[in-house]
Amino acid sequence: MAETQGKVITCKAAVAWGPKEPLVIQEICVDPPQKMEVRLQILYSSICHTDLGFWNGTNEAERAFPRILGHEAVGIVESVGEGVKDVKEGDYVIPAFNGECGECRVCTKEESNLCEKYQVDPMKRVMVSDGGTRFSTTTTKDGGSSKSQRIYHFLNTSTFTEYTVLDSACVVKIDPNAPLKQMSLLSCGVSTGVGAAWNSANVKEGTTTAVFGLGSVGLAVAEGARARGASRIIGVDANASKFEKSKLMGVTDFVNPKDLTKPVHQMIREITGGGVDYSFECTGNVDVLREAFLSTHVGWGSTVLVGIYPTPRTLPLHPMELFEGRKITGSVFGGFKPKSQLPNFAQQCMKGVVKLEPFITNELPFEKINDAFQLLRDGKSLRCILQIAKFLKR
Ligand code: NAD
Ligand code: ZN
Ligand code: ZN
């Protein structure tokens, strides 16, 4: 906006100061965008399990505090840095944690969405251009004052703040008339799940699918498989309260591992006559990944891993098990190239090919962000939409 362009903006953000510590809503300074960067006003942000993972700080390498988490959001461009051509002040956009520069060897090929320069990097905590941060604060976590200290960025995005700065490669323009809260879901969870079904597995009509983990990501896989005409979608979750909602997303059968006296894969093989065509691991648990792998049919079964695994443990498979002809692959952001493919996906969602409404189970004001974290931790929400900007009508 004209009055803030080129100036430091002082605003509110939810700052993570340490693993498992409640986020602190406090004043921060947000620098103007540098060359090929964009400053956004965040309107709504939702919370994904990956935010929880980094907040837990289980893995030493992922710990970087103080930090602004959050990567699922919708916002308005406040100002752009030198050289940015494809978005301008006032555009409605969604952040993409897995960016697309459009020019590198990967971006110019169809095969992958892992841009050489802006692909998701869990270790990254500063801006690409100068290794600096655009966030700082002179307020301590207890509300006292301190000398200015920098606050780290997160997953190319950092959306739990009224204003943020991103590389322009990580900003996707959307239809200004699109339902904004629902567009936030396309920033991660729904695109990741639907894309895993459509792009990574290429689910075909009349096939069978097993989805492990019925959070937003897993249910988006189910929704994607339903849209492709899968005949049977088996949902597996240790939390039975997920099953009722899952029916809306096309899940036809439910398996709770806690109710079984045999391994889940055995049960799935029995009820499908040998195993499913596709399985998806969306819990982030390596033992579940093994169950997902073994639940597919020998010869052609295909497993897509989507969950994020914080433990140092590696793939729980014996190499000989691959001789049985099952395939396994990983999927980041559902294989979508954000800038070139998300606008079309957003249109499909608006036409109802994929229903976004059921994913929003809760809405809270920004100040209640710690309650929203708790809801996800307790398995009581799919996506909780936080209203970050004041006075929003839609
Ligand atoms: P969520 O917490 O909403 O859902 C996870 C579900 O898994 C819950 O319903 C939970 O009850 C179930 N679950 C957990 N452990 C289980 C077990 N042992 N057996 C059966 N069910 C179990 O999380 P989400 O936001 O849907 O994210 C799911 C996973 O996907 C996370 O690991 C997240 O980090 C990851 N993720 C990956 C990408 C990517 O690009 N690859 C993007 C987004 C999220
Ligand atoms: Zn996510
Ligand atoms: Zn690129």
Kindly report, residue by residue over 339-349, the tens digit of the pLDDT: 999 999 999 99
222 and 160 in one domain? no
Give the 3-state secondary structure of residue 391: coil
Q: Are 264 and 161 in contact (CB under 8 A)?
A: no
Find the 51 Cα to ligand 3 centroid distance in Å: 24
Claim to verify: residue 203 and residue 248 sit in the same structural domain: yes
Tens of pLDDT, residue by residue over 77-122, are 999 999 999 999 999 999 999 999 999 999 999 999 999 999 999 9
Q: Please tell me whether residues 251 and 371 are part of one structural domain.
A: no
Q: Does residue 44 belong to any structural domain of this protein?
A: yes
CA 130–ligand 2 middle distance (angstroms): 26
Question: Is residue 35 within 8 Å of residue 383, measured between CB atoms?
Answer: no
Residues 164 and 201 grouped into a single domain: no
For residue 299, is pLDDT > 80?
A: yes
Question: Is 4 a domain residue?
Answer: no
Q: Which pairing describes strands 37-46 and 163-167: parallel, antiparallel, or unpaired?
A: antiparallel
Q: From atom 39 of ligand 1, which residue's Cα is the shortest distance away?
A: 332
**Which ligand 1 atom is nearest residue 219's CA?**
26
Ligand 1 neighbours, Cβ below 6 Å, are 48-50, 53, 188-189, 192, 213-218, 236-239, 242, 257, 282-285, 288, 306-308, 331-333, 376, 379
Asked if residue 350 is part of any domain, the answer here is no
Clarify whether residues 69 and 212 are in a common domain. Answer: no
Provide the sign of the torsion angle of the four alpha carbons 156, 157, 160, 164, taken in this order. Answer: positive
Taking the CB of residue 275, how many other CB atoms lie within 10 A of it?
22
CATH number, residue 61: 3.90.180.10
Residues 277 and 328 in one domain: yes
Q: Does residue 26 sit within a domain?
A: yes
Statement: residue 389 has pLDDT above 80: yes
> Which ligand places an atom closest to the C-alpha of 112?
3
342 lies in some domain? no
Q: Is residue 282 over pLDDT 80?
A: yes
How many domains does one find in the chain? 2
Q: What is the pLDDT of residue 390?
A: 84
Are residues 80 and 13 located together in one domain of the fold? yes
Q: How confident is the model at residue 184 (pLDDT cuts 50, 70, 90)?
A: very high
Tell me the torsion sign for CA atoms 350, 352, 356, 357: positive
Token pair for residue 332? 């980041």
Average pLDDT over residues 52-59: 90
Per the structure, the complete domain to which residue 370 belongs is given by 9-32+40-185+356-387
Among all bound ligands, the one having the nearest atom to the CA of 200 is 1
The answer to the question of residue 343 being in a domain is: no
Q: Are 161 and 14 in contact (CB under 8 A)?
A: yes
Residue 393: band (very low, low, confident or very high) from pLDDT cuts 50, 70, 90: confident
- Bridge partners of 137, per DSSP, are 149
**3-class DSSP assignment, residue 106:** coil
CATH number at residue 259: 3.40.50.720
Smallest-distance ligand from the CA of 98: 1
132 shares a domain with 173: yes
From 306, 342, 361, give the residue whose CB has the most ligand 1 atoms within 8 Å, as the site to mutate: 306
What is the mean predicted confidence (pLDDT) over 162-173?
98
Counting runs of H as helices and runs of E as strands, what totals does the chain give?
9, 17
Residue 149 has pLDDT above 90, yes or no: yes
Average pLDDT of 262-285? 97
DSSP E strands, the chain: 9-15, 24-30, 37-46, 72-80, 92-95, 135-139, 145-151, 163-167, 171-173, 208-212, 232-236, 253-255, 278-281, 302-305, 327-330, 360-365, 383-387
CA 73 – ligand 2 centroid, Å: 10
- Evaluate whether residue 166 is within a structural domain: yes
In order, the DSSP letters of 75-88 are EEEEEE-TT--S--
Contacts (Cβ under 8 Å, ≥6 apart) of 273: none
Among 259, 282, 328, which residue has the most ligand 1 atoms within 8 Å of its CB, making it the best to mutate?
282
Question: What integer is the mean pLDDT of 196-222?
Answer: 98
More confident residue, 318 or 199: 199
Q: Please tell me whether residues 318 and 364 are part of one structural domain.
A: no
Mutate to test the pocket of ligand 1, among 48, 236, 265 (most ligand atoms within 8 A of CB): 48
Q: Is 328 helix (H, G, I), strand (E, B) or coil?
A: strand
Residue in 354, 43, 68, 319 with CA at minimum distance from that of residue 197:
354
**What is the per-residue pLDDT for 394?**
75
Amino acid at 280: F
Count of CB atoms within 10 A of residue 228's CB? 20
- The residues facing 303 across adjacent strands are 279, 328
Ligand 1 centroid to 143 CA: how many Å?
Answer: 34
**Where a domain ends, among 333, 348, 376?**
333
Same domain, 327 and 254: yes
Which DSSP helix (H) or strand (E) runs through 340?
A: helix 338-350
**Could you report the per-residue pLDDT of 236-273, keeping only the tens digit for each?**
999 999 999 999 999 999 999 999 999 999 999 999 99
C-alpha closest to that of 106 among 115, 97, 96, 119: 115
Name, in order, each residue with C-beta under 8 angstroms of 111's C-beta and a sequence gap of 6 or more. Answer: none
271 in the same domain as 259:
yes
318 and 266 in one domain? Answer: yes
Instruction: Give the contacts of 309 (CB within 8 A, at least 6 positions apart).
Output: 284, 285, 286, 289
Bridge partners (DSSP) of residue 136 are 29, 150
C-alpha of 4 from chain center: 30
Q: How far is the CA of 120 from the centre of ligand 3 (A)?
A: 11
Ligand 1 atom nearest to CA at 331: 41
Instruction: Report the distance separating Cα 376 and Cα 367, nearest Å.
Output: 16
Element housing 200 (H / E) = none
